[in-house]
């Protein structure tokens, strides 16, 4: 097993669950305890929640565990423990409620973690300790109105052993349980078949055939997946009987021992392997910025491979607005994967794409009419630029081949998108010879939180007066310039710019990839200005951060202009309209409408204003600004990303600064106490000068 100081609970625990209640989990767990101890491992069997007993130590499953090893030499650990015990013989949520208690997955996980670390500390001389965790009943036994045993198993991320009672129906129950475990990304380490409850009698020929076929079928099915199957005999539970059970369960115990002795992946090893073969964004391949190995995610948390759990302040680059592993999104993903993961969009259509387009058009500013699905945000921008060019050519404006855009913008990393990014802070200096030469106007200088200054439109007015005849479209990020500086400007700028575009005959393109779906406090930033653009790009939060998908949406006028005289729009990605991504996006949009995103974003805005305000005026801070679910601390100099990143991880938060920006864009589901942790971490970094250059 790994060094104790580096060991994490997921690598030192096994969860034993069953296909239902009374299938023999306690006996199977006790047999595994005996077999693992015989293999030389320091193991304890733990019942996180016991119901239906007055005295857990004497009457509960812990007594069964202790009995299984009673004839063995005492090990370094007590054989058994019970963390919570309730008298009512019912499911945990009901039994706990009867005694005025409330169980949560987070609380149970913390209790298990604390218990295990206590074992590690108390028995340090024995080396690393492992725990066998026996669940109550089957996978869907509830702890409260929203969480059940499977949620706890997913939170622990430990390997799983499934126990099934052999007999009629065992194949169905076992396979359904195995599928549910697999769907949650958990490793099944073994299946244990218990003897039928009436095994004392002599089974008839039909029953014997069923039992033998169950064993044969499950062995053949699971052998291909490398999952061992153990079939336990009926025995009297005395010393000889426990030894027979330990021998019978040995194939599963051997698989568990291998897992417990060899952690699935240490953080250090994974990072070393990463450095040899991968190239991360915006960093050197030979001298990359440090990376942290992530193991899993849940709600608004990221869990690193070394076991540390971080409050997420980034929404995975602004996409995971519902948090992580949302059951509705995962259910949509699984359901569509079972029907049709992908099909070409040329000549075919499907319900997820049609329904998604209909739902999008209902949510977008009125007047947009045609949805062109795209692979990513950058591709959506490419599509928008090509739409504008083909539209102008279609209506006879062949001289209109350039785009006008404000400085400070960012629209993606593909060629066309790069050409309309800021020419200084963007990538023009590297790729200037290959990029189309676009027109740039002054960055909107009218702050969102100050009265609108009509003079802020003077430069765009002048540029359109001088070059309007060659401008196909003006493209910009409405209200918020994102990666180009997290700059918030006044919505009236958009109203004035829309009028200037109409007068000049140029189309207006809004890039809402970062701002769409509620991030600025309105569903789309365009709503703040009451402006409908000719073309709008959206992405990022479209699927709730589960899969890559974007869309370019245009008015009927633009579509008609492109397609007049029999012309067609010349773009068609291979994975356009991917049914899997469309199904998840549809579920994500439904969640937005059902779960009161406005109230959640308003709470984020209040918390960010309060939490980041103390940073204003501190050394090295140029500005502090908040809009909707975006909080920004702008520094006077570029920040040392690696040093800040390490500081934040040590503080238990995930914040990824860049350039002169330390910013927060947390998931909408972030609770107030976690938002306060994020803001406190930023404040502490600034107060301690971690943001200052070396």
Q: What is residue 426's three-state secondary structure?
A: coil
pLDDT at 205: 85
Protein fold of 4-261: Rossmann fold (3.40.50)
Token pair, residue 526, equals 């365009």
pLDDT at 6: 54
For residue 36 the two structure tokens come to 């693992």
DSSP SS3 for 101: coil
Both structure tokens of 484: 């180009």
Q: What is the pLDDT, as a whole number, of residue 199?
A: 57
Is 585 strand, coil or helix? helix
pLDDT at 427: 66
Question: Which of 119, 124, 39, 50 lies closest to 79, judged by CA?
Answer: 119
Q: Which residues are catalytic?
A: 282, 410, 511, 540
pLDDT computed for residue 396 by the predictor: 96
Closest CA to 34 of 249, 227, 233: 249
DSSP-assigned letter for residue 35 = H
Cα angle 60, 62, 63 (rounded to 5 degrees) comes to 75
Whole-Å CA distances, 20 to 23, 268, 578: 6, 39, 37
Cα(114)–Cα(108) distance, integer angstroms: 10
Give the whole-angstrom CA distance, residue 506 versus residue 395.
Answer: 12
Question: Distance (Å, rounded) from C-alpha 254 to C-alpha 265?
Answer: 19
Query: First and final CA of the chain: distance in angstroms?
Result: 40
Residue 311 phi/psi, 5° resolution? Answer: -75, 125
Q: How far is CA 264 from CA 60, 213, 492, in A?
A: 32, 34, 55
Please give the biggest Cα pair distance in the chain.
Answer: 97
* Low-confidence residues in the chain, pLDDT < 70: 1-6, 125-127, 198-202, 263-265, 426-428
Fold (topology level) of 273-307+597-687: 3.90.1150
DSSP β-ladder status, 550-555 and 368-374: antiparallel
The whole-number pLDDT of residue 5 equals 43
Distance (Å) of CA 144 to CA 91, 308, 323: 10, 26, 20
Cα separation, 292 vs 309, in Å, equals: 12
Residue 137's Cβ-count burial label (10 Å; 0-12, 13-18, 19+) is buried
pLDDT at residue 266, rounded to an integer: 75
Residue 625 vs residues 164, 328, 364, 411, 633: alpha-carbon distances, Å: 57, 33, 27, 22, 7
In terms of Cα–Cα distance, which of 662, 653, 678 is closest to 623? 662
* Phi-psi category of residue 408: left, alpha or beta, with phi > 0 → left and psi -120 to 50 → alpha: left
pLDDT of residue 426: 66
CA 464 vs CA 159, 275, 387, 501, 585: distances in Å: 63, 48, 20, 8, 37
Q: Residue 6 and residue 566: Cα distance in Å, rounded?
A: 66
Fold of 327-594: 3.40.640
Going by C-alpha positions, the residue among 657, 72, 650 that lies closest to residue 310 is: 650
| Residues in contact with 644: Cβ distance below 8 Å, sequence separation at least 6, in sequence order | 655, 657, 662, 685, 690, 691
Q: Are 293 and 267 in contact (CB under 8 A)?
A: yes
Q: Cα separations (Å) of 142 from 78, 82, 105, 136?
A: 29, 18, 10, 9
Q: How far is CA 488 from CA 408, 409, 440, 657, in A?
A: 11, 12, 19, 18
Which residues partner with 474 through β-bridges? 404, 508
Q: How far is CA 451 from CA 454, 476, 481, 489, 626, in A?
A: 10, 21, 19, 10, 16
Say how far apart CA 151 and CA 325 lie, in whole Å.
Answer: 11
Secondary structure (3-state) at 165: strand
DSSP string, 290-341: P---EEEEEBTEEEETTS-EEEESSHHHHT-TT-BS-HHHHHHHHHHHHH-S
- Supply the pTM of this predicted model: 0.90
Whether residue 575 contacts residue 553, with contact meaning beta carbons closer than 8 Å, is answered with no
CA 647 to chain CA mean position, Å: 23
Among candidate residues 329, 382, 372, 408, the one with its CA nearest the CA of residue 583 = 329
**Rounded-to-integer distance, Cα 658 and Cα 640, Å:** 8
Residue boundaries of the structural domains of the chain: 4-261, 273-307+597-687, 327-594
DSSP 466-510: HHGGGEEEEEE-SSEETTTT-EEB-THHHHHHHHHHHHHT-EEEE
How far is 367 from 182, CA to CA, in rounded Å?
Answer: 45
CA distance 275 to 285: 8
Residue 217: both structure tokens together = 């079928």
Tokens 């009236």 sit on residue: 492
Q: What is the pLDDT of residue 4?
A: 41
What is the reported pLDDT for 346? 95
Are the C-beta atoms of residues 669 and 600 closer than 8 Å to each other? yes
């Amino acid at each position: 097993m790994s060094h104790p100081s580096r060991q994490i609970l997921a690598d030192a625990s096994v969860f034993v669950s069953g296909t239902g209640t009374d299938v023999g989990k306690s006996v199977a767990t006790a047999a595994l305890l005996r077999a693992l101890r015989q293999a030389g491992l320091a193991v304890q069997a733990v019942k996180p929640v016991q119901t239906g007993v007055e005295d857990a130590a004497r009457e509960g499953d812990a007594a069964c565990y202790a009995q299984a090893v009673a004839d063995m030499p005492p090990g370094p650990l007590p054989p058994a423990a019970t963390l919570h015990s309730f008298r009512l013989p019912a499911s945990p949520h009901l039994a706990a409620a009867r005694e005025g208690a409330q169980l949560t997955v987070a609380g149970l996980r913390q209790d298990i973690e604390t218990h295990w670390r206590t074992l590690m500390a108390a028995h340090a001389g024995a080396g690393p300790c492992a725990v066998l965790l026996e669940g109550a009943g089957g996978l869907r036994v509830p702890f409260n109105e929203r969480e059940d045993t499977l949620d706890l198993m997913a939170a622990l991320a430990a390997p799983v052993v499934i126990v099934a009672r052999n007999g009629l129906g065992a194949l169905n129950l076992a396979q359904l349980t195995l599928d549910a475990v697999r769907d949650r990304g958990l490793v099944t380490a073994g299946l244990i078949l218990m003897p039928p409850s009436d095994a004392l009698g002599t089974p008839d020929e039909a029953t014997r055939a069923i039992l033998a076929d169950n064993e044969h079928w499950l062995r053949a099915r699971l052998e291909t997946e490398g999952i061992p199957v153990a079939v336990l005999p009926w025995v009297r539970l005395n010393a000889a009987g426990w030894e027979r059970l330990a021998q019978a369960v040995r194939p599963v115990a051997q698989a568990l021992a291998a897992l417990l002795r060899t952690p699935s992946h240490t953080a250090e090893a994974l990072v070393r392997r990463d450095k040899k073969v991968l190239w991360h964004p915006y960093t050197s391949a030979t001298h990359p910025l440090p990376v942290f190995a992530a193991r899993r995610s849940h709600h608004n948390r990221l869990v690193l491979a070394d076991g540390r759990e971080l409050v997420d302040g980034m929404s995975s680059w602004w996409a995971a607005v519902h948090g992580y592993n949302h059951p509705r999104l995962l259910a949509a993903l699984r359901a569509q994967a079972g029907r049709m993961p992908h099909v070409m969009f040329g000549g075919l259509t499907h319900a997820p794409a049609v329904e998604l387009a209909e739902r999008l058009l209902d949510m977008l500013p009125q007047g947009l009419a045609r949805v062109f699905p795209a692979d990513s945000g950058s591709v959506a921008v490419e599509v928008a630029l090509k739409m504008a060019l083909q539209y102008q050519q279609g209506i006879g404006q062949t001289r209109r081949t350039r785009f006008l855009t404000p400085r400070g913008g960012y629209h993606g990393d593909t060629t066309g998108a790069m050409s309309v990014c800021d020419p200084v802070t963007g990538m023009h200096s590297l790729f200037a010879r290959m990029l189309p030469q676009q027109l740039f106007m002054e960055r909107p200088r009218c702050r969102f939180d100050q009265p609108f200054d009509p003079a802020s439109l003077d430069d765009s007015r002048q540029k359109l007066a001088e070059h309007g005849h060659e401008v196909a479209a003006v493209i910009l990020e409405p209200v918020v310039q994102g990666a180009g500086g997290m700059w918030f400007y006044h919505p009236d700028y958009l109203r004035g710019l829309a009028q200037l575009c109409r007068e000049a005959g140029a189309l207006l393109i809004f890039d809402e990839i970062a701002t769409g779906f509620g991030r600025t406090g309105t569903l789309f930033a365009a709503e703040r200005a009451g402006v409908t653009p000719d073309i709008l790009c959206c992405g990022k939060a479209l699927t709730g951060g589960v899969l890559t998908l974007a869309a370019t949406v245009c008015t009927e006028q633009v579509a008609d202009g492109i397609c007049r005289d029999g012309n067609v729009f010349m773009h068609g990605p291979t994975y356009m309209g991917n049914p899997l991504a469309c199904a998840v996006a549809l579920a994500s949009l439904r969640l937005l409408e059902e779960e009161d995103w406005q109230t959640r974003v308003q709470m984020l805005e209040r918390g960010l204003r309060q939490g980041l305000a103390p940073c204003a005026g501190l050394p090295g801070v140029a500005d502090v600004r908040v809009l909707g679910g975006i909080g920004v601390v702008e520094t006077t100099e570029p920040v040392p990303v690696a040093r800040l990143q390490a500081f934040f991880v040590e503080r238990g938060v995930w914040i990824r600064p860049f350039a002169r920006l330390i910013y927060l864009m947390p998931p909408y589901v972030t609770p107030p106490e976690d938002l306060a942790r994020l803001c406190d971490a930023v404040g502490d970094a600034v107060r301690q000068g971690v943001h200052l250059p070396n």
